[in-house]
Amino acid sequence: MGANIKHLKLHQTKHEDETGRVSCNYVKGTEFHSSSFNSGDYGIYYCGGFVPTHLHDAVEEAFYIVRGHGIMTIGDEERPVKAGDIIPIPCGVLHGLRNTGDDVLEHIVCSAKL
């Protein structure tokens, strides 16, 4: 059984927060409630932009760094990340991302419910 993927217009789903990050949710909806796929997001971090460390109790994620470089916190470790890297984040693990470069950092993240 599959889910209908709904591509949303980015200008309808885009928001900028106080951490220098723009996040665009491009596939998500009620049709995913019976699926393990949760969402797909595209994130842009301006110089110094970040998402604070946080965790998800019932969701695992996979980040793909499209452009730029930065530092990703995973648990109690900080790891450098760059364009082309894929970073899996298991359910229940503290994680965050900070742009440490001189240009934007862009990523795609897909999440799945467990």
CATH number for the domain including 86?
2.60.120.10
pLDDT at 24: 64
CB count within 10 Å of CB 29 equals 13
pTM of the predicted model as reported, rounded to 2 decimal places: 0.76
**What are the residue ranges in the chain where pLDDT is below 50?**
1-15, 18
pLDDT at 41: 84
Amino acid of residue 39: S
- Residue 102: inside a domain, yes or no? yes
pLDDT at 112: 84
**3-class DSSP state for residue 62?**
strand
Strand partners, 113: 59
CB count within 10 Å of CB 21 equals 20
How many domains is the chain partitioned into structurally? 1
Is the Cβ–Cβ distance between 107 and 64 less than 8 Å?
yes
Q: Which domain holds residue 89?
A: 37-113
